[in-house]
Amino acid sequence: MYEFNYHQPTSLDEVARLLGANEEAKIVAGGMTLVPTLKFRLAKPSDLVDLVGISSLRGITDAGDALVIGAMTRHAEVERSPLVKQGIPALAALAHVIGDPAVRNRGTIGGSISNNDPAADYPAAVVGLGGTVQTTRREIAADNFFTGMFETALDRTEIVTAVRLPKPQAACYMKFKNPASRYAIVGVFVARTGGGVRVAVTGAGPCVFRVPEMEAALARSFTPDAIKDIAIPQDGLNSDIHASAEYRAHLVGVMARRAVAGCG
């Protein structure tokens, strides 16, 4: 690990000042990804700005037709929240299958979506539910937030403050997990809402993506059979030691059908 200055500000203004004053400064939230990156000397920030002292970034609010989840809310809090279990049970179930208890007790929803790991679970839920990412500067529709592998629409000094997730009529997340890390080899989030059906896939490609053909078929008939003949092209899908692109393409169909069945 290289040396860095550590800051624990108590307001977003102070965070903005620290990030503005130090071009190589970085935010740290749960540290579940960033700290190992530092340990391997894969990053060399001059300053770490810890969000842990900013209480306004934490907690889950019922906004009627949506839940608003603060960026510093930990996966374990989402997993156990009665509001989430009632409003978006698929999200509580998704949080429950992230990593292991140590990761869930430290990792945050804001850190997860800002990091945008291609195999992370939350991006599938945020896109699948048609959510909105709230930042220190603006609101960004989920469809425009995740822009590429480990890339988002955030500017360097812009911070995710919360995520607004509309409550669906029904939703389910199914993941085929890596047995060691529990990251998604392929995960599919399916949501049925008043505005239609959304199908969001993580793990299969460089970045979360939707499957419009499945969404249209499910809007006509919300059954696993309705999408059984839809083949996902393997072009551009991830191929690594865990699974080939061909295997991942096949898994998207399998996980999508299981997710539709799981919507009950």
Tokens representing 186? 């392929």
132 lines the binding site for ligand FAD (CB under 6 A): no
Q: Is 13 exposed, middle or buried (0-12, 13-18, 19+ CB in 10 A)?
A: exposed
Interface mask (CB under 6 A) for ligand FAD, residues 71-90, using x and -?
x-------------------
Both tokens assigned to 37: 């990156």
Q: What is the rounded distance in angstroms from the CA atom of residue 134 to the CA atom of residue 30?
A: 19
**98: contact with ligand FAD by CB under 6 A:** yes
Pairing of strands 66-70, 132-135: unpaired
187 or 253: CB nearest ligand FAD = 187
- The DSSP letter of residue 74 is B
Burial class for 175, CB neighbours closer than 10 Å (0-12, 13-18, 19+): buried
| Under rule CB under 6 A, residue 108 binds ligand FAD | yes
Stretch that binds ligand FAD, among 22-30, 162-170, 236-244, 255-263 (CB under 6 A): 22-30
Residue 98, CA atoms < 13 Å, CB-side half-sphere: 30
Structure tokens at 180: 């060691």
111 counts as binding ligand FAD under rule CB under 6 A: yes
262 binding ligand FAD? (CB under 6 A): no
* 56 backbone dihedrals φ, ψ, rounded to 5°: -65, -15
Q: How many residues bind ligand FAD (CB under 6 A)?
A: 31
Smallest distance from the beta carbon of 110 to ligand FAD, in angstroms? 3
* Residue 35 or 254 with smaller CB distance to ligand FAD: 35
- By beta-carbon proximity to ligand FAD, the closer residue of 227 and 243 is 243
Q: Which residues bind ligand FAD (CB under 6 A)?
A: 26-34, 51, 71, 98-99, 103, 106-108, 110-112, 114-115, 120-122, 154, 159-160, 181-183
